Amino acid sequence: MKTGIDEQQELFRPIDLEFLNSDGAEIFDIFYKTSSFGSAQYVKFASSHPSHQDKVRRLIEEGENDQEFFIREEDLGKYYGLATKSLRTLISNPQIPFEKKTRKIYDVSKGIMKDFFASNASEKILHSSEEVMEIMEQCLSKNEAGFHSISMITNKDYYTYTHSVNVGLYCMSYGIKTKMGPNDTKDLGLGGMFHDLGKSRVDESIINKDGKLTDEEFEAIKNHSFLGEEILVSMQCYTNNVVRMAGEHHEKFKGNGYPKGLVGEEISPFARICKVMDVYDALTTRRSYKKAMTPFDALTIMGKQMVDEFDHNILGNFVRYMGPDL
């Protein structure tokens, strides 16, 4: 149950000062947090009014600042619009190293997915991902980045939001390495990032449960494929490839997966790619109850015990193009 304080907090989201306009002209109000008698209060620091521009400019110039700033949730779209604009400037700058560029794009994507999963922001926030994925596609294809350089920047602690961004990047990198076109590659990135969206509609205590799941709980989790597909269809702006990645990423190549028990080529090729990346990321990240596997151990298990779950061609490509120095 939410308390009154939580309800107030839900309206505000922390921001990264780096993405504010360098001319100080913001298009939304900026707040800082104080607490009085144990309850959080958000106090306006600057508004979109021109008279406040100096304040914001000084804030940006000061750089490192311990104070956290916030905006209203309804302004997240505008904020990510600014972030995307600065990412475009960043990637077109040849002086900035590739790793710094991808790390920044990764951080923005992570912010969007965290706002969605961890803070229950509205589904509208997902629209911000589209341009960010397009920027990532440009950045990765231009640098012909391999899987190794991508895996250097991905978070190795498992949270639904970091897992989502990791799978999106791995899928995108697969598209680039196997020379799929830019649209398909962007679909792979988006679909990978959105594959577990349905988990936002499953009870959090089940999603985060450390111990063994009861049959009932497992059934509730399994529903996330269908729920994710439903969210994406209702948004009416994503391709069938993206939708099927959410709906079919738990299908197994030789059958017995869920939700439909599809077999082989009945499963969308995009979802078959997602399946490989999903399992790889789940195995190579840490959770409270398990260590992260090394890439070598993960690939060994995937190629032996789990081999029936994957499309052999895709798994083979993955090992060839993306495996760690193989």
| Residue numbers at the binding site for Fe ion (CB under 5 A) | 196, 278
> Please, what is the minimum distance in Å from the beta carbon of residue 121 to Fe ion?
20
Strands 30-36 and 39-46, sheet pairing: antiparallel
**248 or 278: CB nearest Fe ion:** 278
Q: Would you report the helix, strand and coil content of the chain in percent, each value rounded to 5? A: 60, 10, 30
> Please, what is the minimum distance in Å from the beta carbon of residue 34 to Fe ion?
38
Residue 98: which of 45, 60, 136, 53 has the closest Cα? Answer: 136
Supply the angle between the helices 269-283 and 160-177 in degrees, to the nearest 10.
130
Helix ranges (DSSP H) in 10-126: 53-62, 76-91, 98-117
**26 or 281: CB nearest Fe ion:** 281
> Please, what is the minimum distance in Å from the beta carbon of residue 166 to Fe ion?
9
**Integer Cα distance of 208 and 35 in angstroms:** 29
Q: Which residues pair with 44 in a beta bridge?
A: 31
**177 or 249: CB nearest Fe ion:** 249
Query: For residue 269, is the peptide bond before it cis, meaning its omega torsion is within 30 degrees of 0?
Result: no
**71 or 262: CB nearest Fe ion:** 262
Phi then psi dihedrals of residue 251, to 5 deg? -75, 150
**Integer Cα distance of 263 and 252 in angstroms:** 7
**137 or 278: CB nearest Fe ion:** 278
**Integer Cα distance of 156 and 319 in angstroms:** 20
Strands 12-14 and 30-36, sheet pairing: unpaired
> Please, what is the minimum distance in Å from the beta carbon of residue 25 to Fe ion?
40
**251 or 278: CB nearest Fe ion:** 278
Residue 21: which of 64, 68, 63, 53 has the closest Cα? Answer: 53
**196 or 229: CB nearest Fe ion:** 196
> Please, what is the minimum distance in Å from the beta carbon of residue 173 to Fe ion?
16
Token pair for 113 = 């997915």
> Please, what is the minimum distance in Å from the beta carbon of residue 159 to Fe ion?
11
* Burial class of residue 32 in the structure, from the number of CB atoms within 10 Å of its CB (0-12 exposed, 13-18 middle, 19+ buried): middle
Contact 57, 95 (CB under 8 A): no
**196 or 311: CB nearest Fe ion:** 196
Angle, CA of 285, 287 and 289, to the nearest 5°: 135
> Please, what is the minimum distance in Å from the beta carbon of residue 246 to Fe ion?
8
**33 or 201: CB nearest Fe ion:** 201
> Please, what is the minimum distance in Å from the beta carbon of residue 281 to Fe ion?
7
**Integer Cα distance of 245 and 242 in angstroms:** 5
> Please, what is the minimum distance in Å from the beta carbon of residue 223 to Fe ion?
11
